[in-house]
Structure 1
Amino acid sequence: MVNIVYAIVGAVFMVGMALFAFMKGGPAERMGAGAYLFAWFASIILQQNSGFRGLPAGLFLIDLAVLIVFVGVAWRYRQSWPVWASGIQLITVMAHVMMLAKQPVLLGSLITVMNLNGYLIIGCIVIGTFYAWQERRAGMLVGRNS
């Protein structure tokens, strides 16, 4: 019962972040939030189908795809938040590589790192959305005063 509270709080936070990015962000923020929401839903579906046992290789492919999207957004839009999000996502992908390579590391610690990285990436998207929103507002104020 207590575990469901954490899941609900995380889901509300994730959806709230996405709504903020879609309503106030630019194209880079919308693309990043959309990719992250897609990966979140795909991960939930994949874990439900596997019965939450172990770590399926499909999660590795999902996280790798999100890394590629973040690198593409960083390359295309030349903003700083996708670079940070890409670096954090790379840590998650490397945790998958450690699991697939059967390194002598506790599985719970790697899963904890991946979950915490998710919140850091959400923070990057929110910060990028806030700055894009403020830059757009400042541009409208300057345009109105000219």
Structure 2
Amino acid sequence: MLNIVYAIIGAVFMVGMALFAFLKGGRPERLGAGAYLFAWFGTIVMQENSGFRGVPLGMFLIDLLLLGVFVAIAWRYRQSWPVWVSGLQLIVVMAHIMALSGQPVSISSLYTIMNFTGYLIIACIIAGTFYAWQERRAAELNR
């Protein structure tokens, strides 16, 4: 029962971030939030299909693809939040590589790393959306 409370709080946080990014953010924020939502849904499907045992290869591929999307956003739009998000996503990818290479580490600690960095990624997207929104408002007021 207690695990479902954490899942609901995380889902509300994720959907709130996406709504804020889609309503107030610019193109890079919408792309980042959309990619992160897609990866979130894909990861949930992969976890359900694996029975929550181990780290499936599909989750690794989703996170690797998401890293590529964030790096492309950072490269294309030259803002600071995608750089931070790319670094955090790289930590998640490295945790996958550690698990897939057979290192003696508990799966629960890897999921903790992935979940914690996920919240930090959401916070970075929120911060980037807020600053993009404020910059647009300031540009409108200066006209």
Fold conserved between structures, TM > 0.5: yes
1:84-119 CA deviation, whole Å, 9 max, x = no partner? 000000000000000011112222212111110000
For structure 1, the residue ranges without an aligned partner over 5 or more in a row are none
The corresponding residue for 2:62 is 62
Say whether 1:52 aligns with 2:52. yes
The equivalent of 2:25 in structure 1 is 25
Moved over 6 A (4+): none
Whole-Å separation in 2 of the counterparts to 1:109 and 1:45? 21
The TM-score, its normalising length taken from structure 1, stands at 0.96
Q: Secondary structure at the match of 1:5?
A: helix
TM-score scaled by length of structure 2: 0.98
Pair 52,107 (structure 1): closer, same or farther in 2 beyond 3 Å: closer
Quick one: which amino acid aligns to residue 128 of structure 1?
A: G
Question: Residues 133-144 of structure 1 correspond to what in structure 2 (within 5 A)?
Answer: 133-143=133-143
Deviation, structure 1 residue 83: 0.1
What is the number of residues matched between the two proteins? Answer: 143
Amino acid at match of 1:136: R
Q: Distance in 1 between matches of 2:15 and 2:53?
A: 26
Report which of the two structures shows the higher radius of gyration computed on alpha carbons: 1
Structure 2 residue runs of 5 or longer lacking an equivalent are none
Give me the CA root mean square deviation.
0.7
